[in-house]
Amino acid sequence: MSRFLAERYASLVAYTPGEQPTDMKYIKLNTNESPFPPSKGVLDAINTDAVSALRLYPDPECGILKEKIAKQYGFAKENIFVSNGSDDILNFSFMAFCDGKKCGVAFPEISYGFYKVYADLYGVDAKMLPLAEDFSVSAEEYCNIGRTVVIANPNAPTGIALSVREVERIVASNPDHVVVIDEAYVDFGAESCIELVHQYDNLLVVRTYSKSFSMAGARLGFAIGGRELIADLDKIKYSTNPYNINRLTLLAGAAAMDDYDYYMENCRKIVANRAYTTEALTSLGFEVLPSKANFVFARSKKIGGEALYTKLKKRGILVRHFKTEKIKDFNRITIGTLGEMKSLVAAVEAILGEAAGEE
């Protein structure tokens, strides 16, 4: 830390992103990317006039992209906000809707780690509610809470989802506070609550192109909400970086919506591979939480979470381990192709065999 850093950031603990190693080629099951390539339409779209794509500023209104998203999900363009990854949208939401003086924010204690970082960044009082014993989010506890609410649904890193009815109870019981539902993983089998946006002006649903749309590298996210919430987010964007989505990403994002069916078919494959992985790990003695996401969260009594992570890495397979006390026995394993999941299961089996031999 330099002596110039603003004092308000001195104690800030930044988010730790998942590893993106360059030392060797891994089977990469640590940051919930899609194992499938972007569609041909997307590749054709970015294979464009490179000179214009680099020389000119992008459209700050992102009009074409917004229109495609709006049409796909049955909304008006004015209900859509787009930004540089859903992290950017979450960041703007904390800036816009968490007033440190008027109200704090509430989110699950075990959830996407960035929520706490944003709360700290903006000096917002954060109430972090424990998960239930089965690691699900206790929806009732967010009802009438009188704070901005942020919930990942399905939750990360557990993969467990709330139903639309449960989300609606939270939204309806907090009419004077924004409820942000982070649906980064919703396409892998959970119920989306976007239809509730037609009914509730305090609901903001955040989505990403990074998982189901195979575009983590392009950095693109969108949010669906009432026109006023969207205008608020645009105000923040135009007050920070209006050109925050580059021209290639705008083209790719619009083309991906044209190929929506291709991406949903990929999600069905992931769901099938998740079922295979869950069954295989369960038969090896793991407890696997019931996931509706493109990852599973699993622990074994036979080996610690960190030990398994380290041994898998040595065998060229990367998974995500969190040191947080309550979940340190688990690993979060992204669902890849069936071949990748078979390699993972074989490696886990071999590691457990070695561990048993050492006893």
Measured from the CB of residue 349, what is the shortest distance to ligand PMP in angstroms? 28
Measured from the CB of residue 58, what is the shortest distance to ligand PMP in angstroms? 18
Token couple for 61: 């209104």
Measured from the CB of residue 32, what is the shortest distance to ligand PMP in angstroms? 6
Q: Should residue 107 be labelled a site residue for ligand PMP when binding is judged by CB under 6 A?
A: no
- Of the listed pieces 85-93, 249-257, 272-280, 332-340, which binds ligand PMP according to CB under 6 A? 85-93
Interstrand relation of 286-288 and 179-182 (parallel, antiparallel or unpaired): unpaired
Q: Should residue 221 be labelled a site residue for ligand PMP when binding is judged by CB under 6 A?
A: yes
Measured from the CB of residue 112, what is the shortest distance to ligand PMP in angstroms? 4
Nearer to ligand PMP, 223 or 303 (CB): 223
Among positions 86, 93, 277, 291, the unique one binding ligand PMP when judged by CB under 6 A:
86
129-154 b/e (C-beta count within 10 Å ≥ 16 → b) = bebeeebbbebeebeebebbbbbbbb
Nearer to ligand PMP, 295 or 309 (CB): 295
Nearer to ligand PMP, 87 or 191 (CB): 87
Nearer to ligand PMP, 75 or 112 (CB): 112
Nearer to ligand PMP, 214 or 300 (CB): 214
- Of the listed pieces 45-53, 70-78, 79-87, 186-194, which binds ligand PMP according to CB under 6 A? 79-87
Nearer to ligand PMP, 91 or 278 (CB): 91
Nearer to ligand PMP, 91 or 300 (CB): 91
Measured from the CB of residue 135, what is the shortest distance to ligand PMP in angstroms? 15
Q: Should residue 291 be labelled a site residue for ligand PMP when binding is judged by CB under 6 A?
A: no
- Contacts of ligand PMP in 139-178 (CB under 6 A): 152, 156
Q: Should residue 216 be labelled a site residue for ligand PMP when binding is judged by CB under 6 A?
A: yes
Measured from the CB of residue 296, what is the shortest distance to ligand PMP in angstroms? 14
Amino acid at 8: R
Burial of residue 179 (CB within 10 Å: 0-12, 13-18, 19+) is buried
Nearer to ligand PMP, 153 or 300 (CB): 153
Measured from the CB of residue 34, what is the shortest distance to ligand PMP in angstroms? 11
Among positions 75, 92, 107, 112, the unique one binding ligand PMP when judged by CB under 6 A:
112
Q: Which of these, 198, 129, 138, 128, lies nearest to 162 by C-alpha position?
A: 138
Q: Should residue 87 be labelled a site residue for ligand PMP when binding is judged by CB under 6 A?
A: yes
Cβ atoms within 10 Å of 70's Cβ, excluding its own: 18
Indicate left, alpha or beta for 234 from its phi (over 0: left) and psi (-120 to 50: alpha): alpha
Q: Should residue 222 be labelled a site residue for ligand PMP when binding is judged by CB under 6 A?
A: no
Q: Should residue 297 be labelled a site residue for ligand PMP when binding is judged by CB under 6 A?
A: no
- φ/ψ of 242, rounded to 5, equals -60, -25
**Residues lying near ligand PMP in the complex (CB under 6 A):** 85-87, 112, 152, 156, 182, 184, 208, 210, 216, 221
